[in-house]
Amino acid sequence: MNALTDVSMNLDHFLTVDPILRRQGGAKILEPVTLVNGTTADWNTELAESTSLNRSGVPQRTFAAPLANASVLREVRADSRPLQVWEGTVLKVDRAAGVIQVLLVAKIGEMPRHTGEIDLGSVSPQDQDLVRPGAVFYLTLYERTIPSVENIQELRFRRRPSWSTAQLKQIERDASMFLSKMKALPNAT
């Protein structure tokens, strides 16, 4: 049996679709991937149909045996391009009026920072509890090009739940520096 054709059989027990649909051949087919040993590049999708191997100058590629860890659908097709991305900071939340006052800094091109108001309704339900003064969000205006062209905007709040050791060390260094510059107030006599 061709090693590349029996992948879905090996993975059969991992599939989560309706078993009846699967028996009728309607299950999603998990395709094999080409493993690129040791590289962090991620662009062989354009040559996925290639039958060439060991091309000079290309990292060692091997078709893996049909094990689960080499047999998952990997290709992700994007269909859009960002037109502008703003990093925003919440300045004030007015829940009664249903708006947040924000400071926006453009991430693409040279644009002056500016303030504005954003409707609370445009914040997704999962991000509503993140809306508070000081919270950071990203407002992306993007163009979807496939299947047809449409302009869309997306607002996503930043989620950085943990502090890293490096960040904590930096904070400690900053705090020590500030502390070293502080002087005790003279006692009143």
Partner 1 sequence: MAQTAEIFTSSIVAVGEFNPAIFSPDWMERNGLIGKDDADSVREGRQGRPLLVSRQVATFETKWFALQVLGNQFSLTSKDALSPAFKDLGVSIFQLFPDTPVTAVGLNFFGHYKLASEDEYHCVGDVLAPKDIWKALYPDEIAGLADLTLRIQRGSRGAPLKTKDEKRIAVQPSSMIRFGVFFSYNDHHDVSASDETNLKSGERVASIIDSEWESSWHDAVRVFDGVLSKTLSK
Q: Does 81 bind partner 1 (CB under 8 A)?
A: yes
Contact present, 44 and 60 (Cβ < 8 Å): no
Residue of the chain from 23, 54, 77, 177 that contacts partner 1 (CB under 8 A): 77
Q: Report d(CA 172, CA 163) in Å as an integer.
A: 12
Which position among 1, 20, 24, 42 is part of the footprint of partner 1 (CB under 8 A)?
Answer: 42
Enumerate residues 108-147 that contact partner 1 by CB under 8 A. Answer: 124-127, 138, 140, 142, 145-146
Of residues 64 and 93, the one with the C-beta less far from partner 1: 64
Dihedral-angle region of residue 137 (phi above 0 means left; psi in -120 to 50 means alpha; beta otherwise): beta
HSE value, Cβ hemisphere, 13 Å, CA-based, for 104:
19
Under the binding rule (CB under 8 A), the answer on residue 166 touching partner 1 is: yes
Q: Is 101 in the site for partner 1 (CB under 8 A)?
A: no
Nearest to 63 by CA among 13, 129, 7: 7
Q: Which is nearer to partner 1, 45 or 97 (CB)?
A: 45
Q: Is 103 in the site for partner 1 (CB under 8 A)?
A: no
DSSP-derived secondary structure letter, 120: G
Site mask for partner 1 (CB under 8 A), range 6-35, x = bound: --------xxxx----------x-x----x
The DSSP secondary-structure symbol of 97 reads T
CB of 130 to partner 1, least distance (A): 8
Query: Does 178 sit near partner 1 (CB under 8 A)?
Result: no
Residue 59, phi then psi, degrees to nearest 5: -55, 155
Q: How far is CA 4 from CA 29, 53, 75, in A?
A: 12, 15, 16
Decide if residue 46 touches partner 1 (CB under 8 A). yes
> Is the distance from CB of 138 to CB of 85 less than 8 angstroms?
yes
Binding footprint of partner 1 on the chain (CB under 8 A): 14-17, 28, 30, 35, 38-43, 45-47, 57-58, 67-70, 72-74, 76-82, 85, 87, 107, 124-127, 138, 140, 142, 145-146, 152, 154, 156, 158-166
